[in-house]
Amino acid sequence: MIGLTEKISLYGFNNLTKTLSFNIYDICYAKTEREKKDYLAYIDEQYNSERLTRILCDVSDMIGAHVLNISKQDYEPQGASVNILITEEALPVYLVDPSCNLGADIINKNGLMRDNVVGHLDKSHLTVHTYPESHPENEISTFRVDIDVGTCGNISPLNALDYLIGSFDSDIITIDYRVRGFTRDTAGAKYFIDHKINSIQNYVDKKTLRRYDAIDMNIYQSNIFHTKMMLRDIDLENYLFDRDIREIPREKRMHVRDLLFHEMNEIFYGVNIYDE
């Protein structure tokens, strides 16, 4: 395989498609119906479409891409979605399809001109969706964010992975990375991947990894990589919404911790765990 710093002399365009799917879960203890509603309202405001757009624009900068088009939406009663088309190579503005908004509302706020925005390469995009929800029978509420970064060419979505983890309160993280298609060198030989990788964890900061238990499930022959991460330590104070830990009797704190741990394990392992 080819290292990250090595360049392949290609015959034509590098049309390898690299896709990163990133999912995070935030878990919260909200005892009353009021607390649950307030938590969902807080999440809805904290991760509205404007902030999510900013995050995706930062990701675009980090991977060396440029914004072509932005669409975003906040939903009722909660949730938000953002979709951004990106490009790798700079093109004159007159070549951009007139239906594209060129990310003007974002770019103008940063003081940039429209001619800094460039053309679209097929299947290069960033998307984010949010899913806040509450358990109907206990005091646990959860918030999920799904982010997909799809690129072709030399840019890699893995370069933004550590930034994404730090942009959200991440109790549980699932990450999928896959490379599809092939590109050719000048002699006609196929390359099905253009960089070395044996684990997604290679692209996560070591300080971050020390905070999580992580497992890999990879299919190297197919360039498919999957990593799951769960926060190791539960500091109960970080999981209470609008409530001081001193308001919870000491004998009940273990029950709350068990509820949180139960929810996190079900999400991490993808199975329902029933109490005996």
C-alpha torsion sign, points 91, 94, 95, 100 = positive
Q: How many CA atoms lie within 13 A of 177 on its CB side?
A: 23
100 assigned to active site: no
Within 10 angstroms of residue 110's Cβ, the number of other Cβ atoms is 10
Which of 49, 152, 156, 167 is an active site residue? 152
Q: How many CA atoms lie within 13 A of 135 on its CB side?
A: 19
Q: Which residues pair with 230 in a beta bridge?
A: 172, 213
57 assigned to active site: no
152 assigned to active site: yes
Which of 28, 129, 156, 167 is an active site residue? 129
Which of 49, 124, 134, 170 is an active site residue? 124
Q: Report the b/e string of 233-265 with b at 16+ CB within 10 A.
A: ebeeeebbbebeeeebeeeeeeebeebbeebbe
Instruction: Give the residue numbers marked as catalytic.
Output: 124, 129, 152
